Amino acid sequence: MSKVVDKHESLLMKNNPKILVVGGSDAGLSAALRIRELDSSITPIMVLADEYPNFSICGIPFYLSHEVPDYWHLAHRTRSEIESLGIEVRTSTRASAIDPKAKTCRLRLSDDSEEEVQYDQHHWHRSRIC
Ligand SMILES: Cc1cc2nc3c(=O)[nH]c(=O)nc-3n(C[C@H](O)[C@H](O)[C@H](O)COP(=O)(O)OP(=O)(O)OC[C@H]3O[C@@H](n4cnc5c(N)ncnc54)[C@H](O)[C@@H]3O)c2cc1C
């Protein structure tokens, strides 16, 4: 417990601390929302390999059977709703390497270019290897 408190206190020492959340489905968004709930001064940066943040994967069979006509209706929240909650959303962005000591993560963007982001903490929420 004291380690968690120490980590939180050292995060608060920073100006606009950022927590990197890899994955933007159920687990990733839950983590990002909880971070904001616990401390609204922290910006979660949620990166996801696909273009569909907070989609109901469980709803795919209902789309395939035409019970849900538009697959965008499978989204629990729209991207702009998520962003309005203080979460930075990076879609079509794949985390390809992480250096926990340097606190950097290499991101591969949809045009195949690469970018390195600096973070204060990271959370890894990808259940499948993409
Ligand atoms: C057809 C179907 C029906 C289902 N029905 C049910 C049900 O009825 N009830 C139930 O409880 N569960 C159901 N599930 C399971 C449920 O969908 C999963 O348990 C849940 O989606 C897991 O959420 P997750 O956030 O851990 O991972 P996922 O939903 O798999 O999300 C992974 C996230 O990580 C991202 N990602 C992956 N690799 C990278 C990378 N390198 N860089 C950046 N981002 C990355 C992806 O883009 C995605 O945003 C069903 C699943 C399927 C496929």
Ligand 1 center–CA 78 separation, angstroms: 17
Specify the number of domains making up the chain.
1
Q: Residue 126's pLDDT band (boundaries 50, 70, 90)?
A: low
What is the number of the ligand 1 atom nearest to the C-alpha of 26?
A: 25
In a 13 Å sphere around the CA of 130, the CA atoms on its Cβ side amount to: 15
Residue nearest to atom 52 of ligand 1 (CA): 58
Residue nearest to atom 27 of ligand 1 (CA): 127
Is 129 contained in some domain? Answer: no
Spatial separation of the C-alpha atoms in residues 15 and 120, rounded to whole Å:
11
Q: What is the CATH number of the domain that holds 95?
A: 3.50.50.60
The per-residue pLDDT for range 77-113, each reduced to its tens digit, is 999 999 999 999 999 999 999 998 998 999 999 999 9
Q: Which domain holds residue 23?
A: 2-124
Residue nearest to atom 2 of ligand 1 (CA): 58
Is 113 contained in some domain? Answer: yes
Spatial separation of the C-alpha atoms in residues 20 and 126, rounded to whole Å:
13
Is 130 contained in some domain? Answer: no
pTM of the entire predicted model:
0.85
Q: Which long-range contacts does 109-118 make (Cβ < 8 Å, 24+ apart)?
A: 117/20, 117/45, 118/18
Ligand 1 center–CA 74 separation, angstroms: 13
